[in-house]
Amino acid sequence: MAIRHLDRLLTEGVRGDRVFVRADLNVPLDAGEVADDTRLTASLPTLRDLLDAGARVVVASHLGRPKGRRVPELSLRPVAARLSQLLGMDVAFCEDCVGDRAKAAVEKLGDGEVLVLENLRFHDGEERNDPKFAEALASLADVYVNDAFGTAHRAHASTVGMVSFVPRVAAGRLLASELEHLRVVLEPVRPLMVILGGAKVSDKLAVLEALAPHADILAIGGAMAYTFMAAHGTPIGKSLVEPDRFADALAVEQAVRDAGRTLLLPTDHVVAPRLEAGPPLRRSGEPGEHHLLERPDGRFRNRCILGGNPDRRDRGSRGRRGQRGRWRRFAGGHQPVEAGRSDHPHVDRRRRFARVRAGPRTARRDRVGSDSRRIAPAVMTGAKPMRRPILAANWKMHKTNAEAIDFAEAFVPLVAGADVDVVIAAPFTLLDRLGPKLAGSGIALAAQNVNPNESGAFTGEIAPAMLVDVGCRYAIVGHSERRALYGETDEVVSQKAVALLAHDIRPIVCVGETLEQRDAGAALSVVAQQLRGSLSEIPTTRAAEVVVAYEPVWAIGTGRTATPQIAQEVHESVRAVLSDLFGSTGAEIRIQYGGSVKPETVYDLMAQPDIDGALVGGASLDPEAFSRIVRFDREGAK
């Protein structure tokens, strides 16, 4: 289900409502004053929109780590004072965040006024996600807005616990924007270079294991690199090293090699007798073969660079100069930021870099690891996990080039700004002409089939590399019509899916039962068997890139649509099989419903917890009808 955005709340109206905004006001203080108000400034768009709408805004945040004790030096009072200056209005402050004082302060608020509560972490119930503390926070709210990207992954009372007690929830401007920026990582433009550093391999191990097979180039810097070097017996002097992580480091290197990717370790070092500023520095080692990454003009070929605090030891002035120089080299001379993609819709075109501004740990944990510290479900419509909806058009054997171009010109403006992934699967003859018409719109091009072979004497067939050449990012495999009319087996579907992933094309793998199989009570077992056969060779490290489409054969082209309950029953069963096959990664795989989906039926289907999208046939041939399906959330809200 789509993230519930602030605009939805504003459309519904919030005048007079107590809107609890969980913000990230964890700013540095110096002599009782805010030393850096960057995070405060980032929260202003959400606060201003709510205040302009007449809401009674209650702002809550943590500051530092008081560990459940009242620490005067970590009070949010200076933050409230600075926020008052930034907003250009009085900002009230309460010396507690729960209890009688907090309730009284909230009651005094008028429409369009704002109150900052005292540090949430002065109470140990915040970090323990204590139900009573969560309920006490919720008693101050009619509406909940999460705008704290840096802490949204934490299962705390203000990010998770209180949400079940508040009837209306949404994501603030900052949180929604940062989640959108994460698509830079989820769907990178290749070549993709990942730069990671820090002190310890143990701190980044889950990230390394997850990214090693996906990054075209994995560059490891900081003190962490010395564990990798020492694992090979390279002398590292007195540098920080983790001998108990040698095996993990070697395993990461092996994963990179197995995936045919490149690993870079530092070959040119700055050496000093100790870390403190002042000791004499000298250079050690010769410049490495970094020129292999460069174009003739000296700029790097990588179109997408993800950086995660690459050199924590570079925080001294001399180190920072070196770090800035390296990033500028990667960025083509421009000032670096944390993640970049030259054609991403949120990119500063001058700098050619997008940015994940706050909470890099949230960004990492959102995609890596299977614990509870993920983006809180509080910003979702309902309790669905955060899987981005995907609506795909399957044109089958329809449209000429002229008709396809007319469709694109009409359709693209209708879905501009839609908070879903949109895919159009067109006949092979249309792909080369349709691609340019979709460029820059965020709409992905897909093929309806593929041959798993790289090349050869296969008359009339299309290889994966050919799809890459025309810009395809998805391809449908295993459609019921292919299975029924051309005898495609689960084994063939599996081969196609693996071949597509090898070329970084996401397979949409179709499964579904016939009417006879459903009437015989075999629907779930048939679908499970197809899933296991079709996904048997997919490695767990790539499984999240697969999309599964459940299409009941008896509903395709018949005008019959499975009820939302029937569809959900099968999708839930599919989810269980995916979890059995891929463990926790199975929860990340998106499952579409396909079977006579229409604008009138899509909203109720998408409301189901395990339905993440739709594979649309006949209704996708008309730009207006398909745009209504893509905008299911807006249509359903009317």
Could you give the residue numbers annotated as active site? 479, 551
Contact residues for 204 (Cβ-Cβ < 8 A; gap 6+): 196, 198, 224, 308
Neighbours of 403 (CB within 10 A): 13
DSSP character string of 429-466 = HHHHHHHHHHTTTTPEEEES---SSSSSS-TT---HHH
Query: Hunting for tokens 């002190």 — which residue is that?
Result: 199
User: Is residue 481 a contact partner of residue 448, using CB atoms and an 8 Å limit?
Assistant: no
- Tokens for 367, please give them: 């995609």
What span, in angstroms and rounded, lies between the C-alpha atoms of 511 and 549? 6
- Tokens for 459, please give them: 């008359």
Chain centroid to CA 335: how far? 24
What span, in angstroms and rounded, lies between the C-alpha atoms of 523 and 562? 13
Going by C-alpha positions, the residue among 597, 591, 600 that lies closest to residue 617 is 597
Going by C-alpha positions, the residue among 401, 463, 398 that lies closest to residue 432 is 401
End-to-end CA distance of the chain: 17
Backbone φ and ψ for 391, nearest 5 degrees, come out as -110, 120
What span, in angstroms and rounded, lies between the C-alpha atoms of 281 and 176? 44
User: Which helix (H) or strand (E) is 392 found in, with range?
Assistant: strand 390-394
**Helix/strand/coil for 3:** strand
Ranges of beta strands (E only) in 398-499 are 421-425, 444-447, 472-477
**Helix/strand/coil for 341:** strand
- Tokens for 538, please give them: 């997919």
User: Is residue 28 a contact partner of residue 194, using CB atoms and an 8 Å limit?
Assistant: no
Chain centroid to CA 346: how far? 14
Per DSSP, 164 falls in state G
What span, in angstroms and rounded, lies between the C-alpha atoms of 552 and 239? 60
Give the torsion through C-alpha atoms of 291, 295, 298, 299, to 10 deg. -110
- Tokens for 394, please give them: 């399957």
What span, in angstroms and rounded, lies between the C-alpha atoms of 73 and 558? 68
What span, in angstroms and rounded, lies between the C-alpha atoms of 386 and 480? 29
Neighbours of 464 (CB within 10 A): 24
Give the torsion through C-alpha atoms of 54, 58, 61, 63, to 10 deg. 110
- Tokens for 45, please give them: 């768009």
What span, in angstroms and rounded, lies between the C-alpha atoms of 49 and 53? 6
Backbone φ and ψ for 220, nearest 5 degrees, come out as -115, 125
